[in-house]
Copies of this chain bind each other. A is one copy, B any other.
Amino acid sequence: MAIGLATCAAPVEPPATIPGDAAAQADPLPSWNDGGSKRAIVAFVARVTNERGADFVQQAERVAVFDNDGTLWIEQPMYVQLAFTLDRVRELAPQHPEWSEREPFKSVLAGDLVAALADEHRVLEMLAATHFGNTTEEFSAAVERWIGSARHPRFARPYTQLVYQPMLELLAYLRTNGFKTYIVSGGGVEFMRPWAEAAYGIPPEQVVGSRAKLEYQVRDGLPVIARLAEVDHVDDKAGKPVGIQEIIGRRPIAAFGNSDGDFEMLEWTTAGKGARFGLIVHHTDADREWAYDRGSPVGALARALDAAPARGWVVVDMKQDWKVVFPGG
C-alpha cells in the first residue's frame, strides 16, 4: 500500500471541484486506518463540498493551513532547520577562523552538541551567523544544496523523505476537493520554500513562516534582496494567525498542527462561522517514529491536547491511525 515519493508532487493548482459526496470516491486516504480520525476528515470534506448542503463553502474560501515541523515532516531529534544550522556552521567555518575559539561555534566544530545547544542564546547566535547577511538567492541556494545531501541521523534518509505519507495523502485529498493548501510554520519561510513544492506540492507563495527583515539593494547595478540581521516576524503561537492574515488575508476553514505552537492557529480557524476543522497529530509511535507530548523540548503538546475535546479538535493517534508513517513504509 506504500506510495512512492514521486506521487507527492501533486498539481499545484487545485483542479475543479468534484461536487457531491466526496466520501463516495475511491479511498483517497489509503494510509489512514479506518477510525474516528479518518471518518472525521472525510465527513468534513463532504460537508463543505456538498453544494446542496447547509455547510457548503465556495471553493475560493476553502483554505487549509498546515504546520510543518511534526505535522508534515519529522522534527526529532531536533528541528530540521537546526540540523541545517549546525551543518552550515561547519560549512562556513573556514571563512571564520575565530570560531575555533568562540562559543557556541567552538563546541559545534568539536562535535559537542550538548554544549553548543546549551541555551537559547547560543542557538540564536548560530542562527544569526548562518541565516543572515546574505541575499535571498544565496540563502535559497544554500538550503537547496543542503536539503539535497543531508541525511537524518536515525533513518539515514534525506529529510524530504521523512515527510508523513498520511499527511501527503491528506494534502492531495484536500486539493482534489478544491482546497488551497498552505504551510504556516514557525520555521523560516525562506528555509521551506526551496523544497516545499517538490515535497508537498505546495508552491512558494503558499508558504507562511518566520522571516528576516528584508532590504532591497542595488549592488554594482544588480538588484538583490538582502536578509538583514533582524527578525521581522516569528510565525509561532499568536504569530500564526497574524502570518495568516498578512499573507493569505482569509480565515482558514481547516487547520492541522501537532504542538502548543499551533494552539492559536487552531483557535482562530475553528472559531470562525460555519463548518470548521481542527486536527492535532499526536506523536505516539516510538517504534516507527517518536512518542512525545508534554514536556518535550521539541514540539511540546499539552495545552492544545487538553483543549482538544471541548473545542472539537480531532487528535490523531499516530500509532493507531496511520498504516505507514513515511513514504515507502
Listed in ascending order, the chain A residues whose CB lies under 8 Å from chain B are: 12-14, 60, 136, 180, 189-190, 193, 197, 203-205, 207, 211, 214-216, 218, 222-223, 225, 238-242, 245-250, 264, 267-268, 271
Contact = CB atoms under 8 A, between A and B. Distances in A.
Nearest to A59: B13
B225 A242 contact: yes
A249 to B, nearest CB: 3
B60 A12 contact: yes
A197 to B, nearest CB: 8
Contact of A214 (B197, B242, B248): B242
15 contacts: A13-B14, A60-B203, A180-B205, A193-B249, A205-B248, A205-B249, A205-B250, A211-B246, A216-B238, A216-B242, A218-B267, A223-B264, A225-B242, A225-B245, A247-B247
Which one of A189, A239, A245, A268 has the greatest number of beta carbons of chain B within 10 Å?
A245
A215 B193 contact: no
Contact of A222 (B240, B249, B271): B271
Contacts of A242: 214-216, 225
A204 B189 CA distance: 20
Nearest to A245: B225
A136 B238 CA distance: 15
A197 B250 CA distance: 13
B211 A249 contact: no
A136 B223 contact: no
Nearest to A13: B13
B267 A241 contact: no
A211 B243 CA distance: 12
Top 10 closest pairs, chain A to chain B, by CB: A204-B249, A216-B238, A216-B241, A214-B242, A205-B248, A193-B249, A225-B245, A223-B268, A223-B271, A204-B250
A240 B214 CA distance: 11
A160 to B, nearest CB: 18
A246 B180 CA distance: 19
A286 B73 CA distance: 58
Contacts of A218: 267
Contacts of A189: 246, 249
A247 B136 CA distance: 13
A14 B11 CA distance: 13
Which one of A203, A204, A205, A218 has the greatest number of beta carbons of chain B within 10 Å?
A205
